[in-house]
């Protein structure tokens, strides 16, 4: 069988499975849900995907549904976009960030312990950012001291984290802590796996302008983390964190970019439903948006091709990320304009997806993507300094 025939067969198989299994009417039902109901709906959809074998196509072959080539993953994402399935907001940190960290840097015991639990529905959050450590993440101050308590070695953690997505529902946390102040900032960081139910962990959801509580503050007060729940060596956590972050900027964003193409059908339907097919302004803007989404997908394709061929460049993932966040804004702005003044007054309450059709919320949320996973400016720095080898910014500009 040729590669193309195989991919076409896979496409039909996924499409047929989605016809029977994709949640129907979720754009409407999500809007009426409480936070708890939203979390349950997300868990149900994830378990459906696990059973169908489509939850973790990017994991190695020994895992159910894993072992898909990048070209196969693309087909699966494209079909999910076509079927307009909800984004897995509750599990993406687990299946991408946590899993990539374990695959690249975890011990065999950590993989055996944590990866099956992710498929059973255990969820992870990411505790990297702090009030004074975002773009300059290596400045983080949350402190961990290694001590012996009740006959076992533990790290005792004290500090504060912020912007942790879905931490209010998480069972575990990928945590960066400072274990040394000697030498350069990066050299004193350690990567821990923290139980969110451990004594001393307090989580406070942050109320966002559009009505969501997508992310949280976390306060850590004498929290004990067993030494065996450290990934990599002590003071070598910076390198581990790069494995976590590259999955966030690359594959996650690629999936979302393809999802936007699926969402265009939805916008076309709205234009028809609102009787705006003759509106030259709307058609012009929609045409421009289609072209922009297509070019974003072409950029994502190039990123994927570079990965497949093993020639991914530093900065490729940053280009995907910056392109996606710009196009997402244009997409939600068009929706907002389509809805007119009524749409702008509509109560912005929505949970969890970036393209919910609550346009006011989606538009405000689109700005979040210019910051999440590393801000737009910082991505531009990566592209200019590390990809194009342009002059580095003077040190004193770094915040
Ligand atoms: C939706 C969302 C989800 C998130 N989820 C998580 C999560 O789950 N876990 C987690 O740990 N964090 C999370 N974050 C935090 C995110 O990683 C940080 O917000 C981001 O790294 C920026 O850090 P900061 O907010 O502290 O802004 P700052 O670093 O204070 O930056 C402020 C401004 O200065 C600019 N700036 C900073 N340095 C430079 C420079 N060198 N050159 C030019 N401009 C610069 C930035 O671009 C930005 O505009 C999330 C953020 C968002 C928006």
107 is a domain residue: no
Nearest residue (by CA) to ligand 1, atom 48, is 375
Among 248, 277, 343, 393, the active-site one is 248
Q: How far is ligand 1, taken at its centre, from the CA of residue 236, in Å?
A: 22
* Band of pLDDT at residue 235, cut at 50, 70 and 90: very high
Nearest residue (by CA) to ligand 1, atom 50, is 372
- Examine the domain organization and report whether 258 and 370 are in the same domain: yes
93 is a domain residue: no
| Tens digits of residue pLDDT in 83-113 | 888 888 899 999 999 999 999 999 999 999 9
pLDDT of residue 195: 98
What's the CA gap between 225 and 248, in Å, rounded?
Answer: 25
Q: Ligand 1 pocket by C-beta < 6 Å: which residues?
A: 125-129, 134-135, 163-165, 215, 368, 371-372, 374-375, 377-378, 381, 393, 397-399
Residue with token string 């949280």: 216
Q: H or E element: which one contains 148?
A: strand 143-149
155 is a domain residue: yes
Nearest atom in ligand 1 to 397's CA: 41
244 is a domain residue: no
pLDDT of residue 31: 72
Q: How far is ligand 1, taken at its centre, from the CA of residue 128, in Å?
A: 11
**Which pTM value belongs to this model?**
0.91
196 is a domain residue: yes
Is the model's pLDDT at 341 over the cut of 90? no
For a ligand 1 pocket test, name from 133, 175, 372, 383 the mutation site with the most ligand atoms within 8 angstroms of its C-beta: 372
248 is catalytic: yes
φ, ψ for residue 98, nearest 5 deg: -65, -45
Is the model's pLDDT at 42 over the cut of 50? yes
| Tens digits of residue pLDDT in 266-293 | 789 889 988 899 999 999 999 999 999 9
pLDDT of residue 356: 59
Concatenated DSSP letters of 294-340: HHHHHHHHHHHHHHHTT-PPTTHHHHHHHHHHHHHHHHHHHHHHHHH
- Examine the domain organization and report whether 128 and 34 are in the same domain: no
Nearest atom in ligand 1 to 381's CA: 42
Is the model's pLDDT at 381 over the cut of 90? yes
- Examine the domain organization and report whether 168 and 191 are in the same domain: yes
Nearest residue (by CA) to ligand 1, atom 35, is 377
pLDDT of residue 317: 87
Concatenated DSSP letters of 97-143: IIHHHHHHH--HHHHHHHHHHHHHT--EEEE--BTTBSTTGGG---E
- Examine the domain organization and report whether 255 and 343 are in the same domain: yes
For a pLDDT cut of 70, what percent of the chain falls above it? 93
- Examine the domain organization and report whether 208 and 324 are in the same domain: no
Q: Name which of 59, 38, 237, 58 is nearest 137 in CA terms.
A: 237
Domains: count for the chain: 3
- Examine the domain organization and report whether 214 and 313 are in the same domain: no
Mean pLDDT rounded to a whole number for the chain: 89
Q: Name which of 329, 315, 301 is nearest 380 in CA terms.
A: 315
* Band of pLDDT at residue 351, cut at 50, 70 and 90: very low
241 is a domain residue: no
42 is a domain residue: yes
Q: How far is ligand 1, taken at its centre, from the CA of residue 371, in Å?
A: 5
Nearest atom in ligand 1 to 371's CA: 53
Q: Name which of 90, 93, 74 is nearest 82 in CA terms.
A: 74
- Examine the domain organization and report whether 266 and 383 are in the same domain: yes
Q: What range does the domain containing 315 cover?
A: 250-397
- Examine the domain organization and report whether 82 and 197 are in the same domain: no
CATH number of the domain at 362, please: 1.20.140.10
- Examine the domain organization and report whether 137 and 228 are in the same domain: yes
As a whole number, mean pLDDT of residues 241-251 equals: 77
- Examine the domain organization and report whether 219 and 333 are in the same domain: no
As a whole number, mean pLDDT of residues 305-331 equals: 88
Q: How far is ligand 1, taken at its centre, from the CA of residue 372, in Å?
A: 6
Q: How far is ligand 1, taken at its centre, from the CA of residue 381, in Å?
A: 14
Single residue among 211, 235, 259 that ends a domain in this structure: 235
For a ligand 1 pocket test, name from 129, 176, 354, 361 the mutation site with the most ligand atoms within 8 angstroms of its C-beta: 129
| Tens digits of residue pLDDT in 174-201 | 999 999 999 999 999 999 999 999 999 9
Single residue among 40, 62, 88 that ends a domain in this structure: 88
- Examine the domain organization and report whether 32 and 139 are in the same domain: no
Nearest atom in ligand 1 to 375's CA: 47
pLDDT of residue 209: 75
Q: How far is ligand 1, taken at its centre, from the CA of residue 319, in Å?
A: 17
């Amino acid at each position: 069988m040729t590669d193309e025939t195989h991919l076409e067969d896979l496409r039909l198989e996924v499409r047929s499975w989605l016809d029977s299994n994709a949640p129907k009417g979720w754009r409407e039902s999500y809007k009426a849900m409480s936070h708890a109901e939203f979390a349950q709906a997300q868990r149900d959809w994830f378990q459906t995907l696990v059973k169908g074998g489509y939850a973790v196509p990017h994991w190695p072959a020994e895992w159910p549904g894993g072992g898909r080539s990048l070209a196969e993953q693309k087909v699966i994402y494209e079909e999910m976009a076509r079927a307009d399935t909800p984004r897995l907001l509750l599990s993406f940190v687990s299946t991408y960030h946590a899993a990539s960290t374990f695959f690249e840097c975890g011990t065999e015991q950590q993989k055996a312990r944590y990866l099956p639990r992710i498929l059973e529905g255990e969820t992870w959050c990411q505790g990297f950012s702090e009030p004074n450590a975002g773009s300059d993440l290596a400045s983080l101050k949350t402190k961990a001291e290694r001590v012996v308590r009740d006959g076992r070695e533990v790290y005792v953690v004290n500090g504060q984290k912020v912007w942790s997505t879905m931490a209010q529902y998480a069972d575990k946390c990928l945590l960066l802590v400072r274990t040394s102040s000697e030498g350069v900032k990066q050299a004193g960081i350690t990567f821990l796996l923290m139980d969110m139910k451990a004594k001393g962990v307090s989580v406070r959801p942050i109320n966002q302008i559009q009505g969501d509580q997508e992310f949280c503050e976390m306060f850590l007060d004498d929290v004990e983390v067993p030494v065996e729940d450290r990934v990599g060596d002590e003071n070598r956590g910076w390198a581990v964190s790069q494995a976590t972050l590259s999955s966030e900027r690359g594959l996650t964003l690629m999936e979302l970019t393809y999802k936007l193409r699926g969402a265009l059908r939805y916008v076309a339907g709205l234009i028809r439903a609102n009787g705006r097919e003759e509106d030259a302004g709307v058609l012009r803007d929609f045409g421009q948006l289609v072209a922009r989404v297509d070019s974003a997908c072409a950029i994502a394709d190039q990123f994927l091709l570079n990965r497949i061929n093993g020639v991914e460049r530093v900065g490729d993932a940053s280009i995907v990320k910056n392109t996606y966040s710009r196009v997402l804004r244009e997409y939600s702005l068009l929706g907002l304009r389509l809805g007119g003044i009524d749409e702008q007054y509509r109560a912005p309450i929505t949970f969890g997806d970036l393209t919910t059709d609550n346009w006011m919320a989606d538009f405000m949320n689109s700005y979040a993507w210019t910051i999440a996973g590393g801000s737009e400016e910082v991505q531009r720095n990566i592209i200019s300094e590390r990809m194009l080898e342009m002059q580095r910014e003077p040190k004193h500009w770094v915040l």
